[in-house]
Amino acid sequence: MKVTRRTVSIGSLGLLAAASSLSPAHALDDPLLDPFEGKSDFWLAVDAYIYGYPLVTMEMTRRVITNVAKVKGTKGPMGQIIKVREYPDSSFTDVTAPNADTLYTTAFIDVGKEPWVFSIPEMKDRYFLFPMLDGWTTVFEVPGKRTTGGGAQTYAITGPGWQGKLPEGVTEYKSPTSIVWILGRIYCTGTPEDYKAVHAAQDQCKLVPLSSYGKEWTSPPGKVDPEIDMKTAVREQVNKMDAVEYFTLLSKLLKTNPPTAADAEMVGKMAEIGIVPGKDFDKSKLDANFIKRIPEVAFARIMLHFKLSDGDIKDINGWGYTTKTGIYGNNYLQRALITAIGLGANRPEDAIYPTSTKSKDGVFSRAYSGSDDYILTFPKGQTPPVKGFWSITMYNEEYFFVANPINRYSISARQDLKPNADGSINIYIQNKSPGVDKESNWLPAPKGKFILMMRLYWPDGSPPSILDGSWVIPQVKKV
Q: Residue range 187-211: average pLDDT?
A: 97
More confidently predicted of 1 and 417: 417
pTM attached to this predicted model: 0.88
Whether residue 153 contacts residue 129, with contact meaning beta carbons closer than 8 Å, is answered with no
Is the residue at 73 inside a domain? yes
Instruction: Tell me, yes or no, whether 52 and 153 share the same domain.
Output: no
Please state which of the ranges 182-191, 282-291, 345-354 shows the lowest mean pLDDT.
Answer: 282-291
Q: Which domain holds residue 74?
A: 68-212
Confidence class for position 268, pLDDT limits 50, 70, 90 = very high
Say if residue 5 is exposed, middle or buried (CB neighbours under 10 Å; 0-12, 13-18, 19+). Answer: middle
Q: Is the pLDDT score of 6 beyond 50?
A: no
Q: What is the pLDDT of residue 361?
A: 62
Distances (CA, A) of 213 to 78, 80, 89: 17, 15, 38
**CATH (domain of 427):** 2.60.120.600
Residue length of the chain = 479
Instruction: Tell me, yes or no, whether 207 and 94 share the same domain.
Output: yes
Say if residue 293 is exposed, middle or buried (CB neighbours under 10 Å; 0-12, 13-18, 19+). Answer: buried
Longest dimension (CA), the chain: 73
CA atoms within 13 A on the CB side of 105: 24
Domain count, the chain: 3
pLDDT single digits (tens) 156-168? 999 998 999 999 9
Q: Is the pLDDT score of 359 beyond 80?
A: no
Q: Residue range 46-60: average pLDDT?
A: 97
Q: Residue range 45-59: average pLDDT?
A: 97
Residue 118 CA to residue 155 CA, distance in Å, equals 5
Instruction: Tell me, yes or no, whether 115 and 198 share the same domain.
Output: yes
Residue 157 CA to residue 111 CA, distance in Å, equals 7
End-to-end CA distance of the chain: 35
The domain boundary, picked from 340, 366, 391, lies at 340
Instruction: Tell me, yes or no, whether 290 and 171 share the same domain.
Output: no
Q: What is the pLDDT of residue 398?
A: 86
Q: Residue range 179-189: average pLDDT?
A: 96
Instruction: Tell me, yes or no, whether 443 and 388 share the same domain.
Output: yes
Q: Residue range 82-92: average pLDDT?
A: 92
Is the residue at 226 inside a domain? no
Q: Is the pLDDT score of 371 beyond 90?
A: yes
Residue 431 CA to residue 20 CA, distance in Å, equals 44
Closest CA relative to residue 253, chosen from 265, 269, 270:
270
pLDDT single digits (tens) 218-254? 999 999 999 999 998 888 999 999 999 999 999 999 9
Confidence class for position 13, pLDDT limits 50, 70, 90 = very low
H helical segments located in 234-331: 234-240, 243-254, 264-271, 293-307
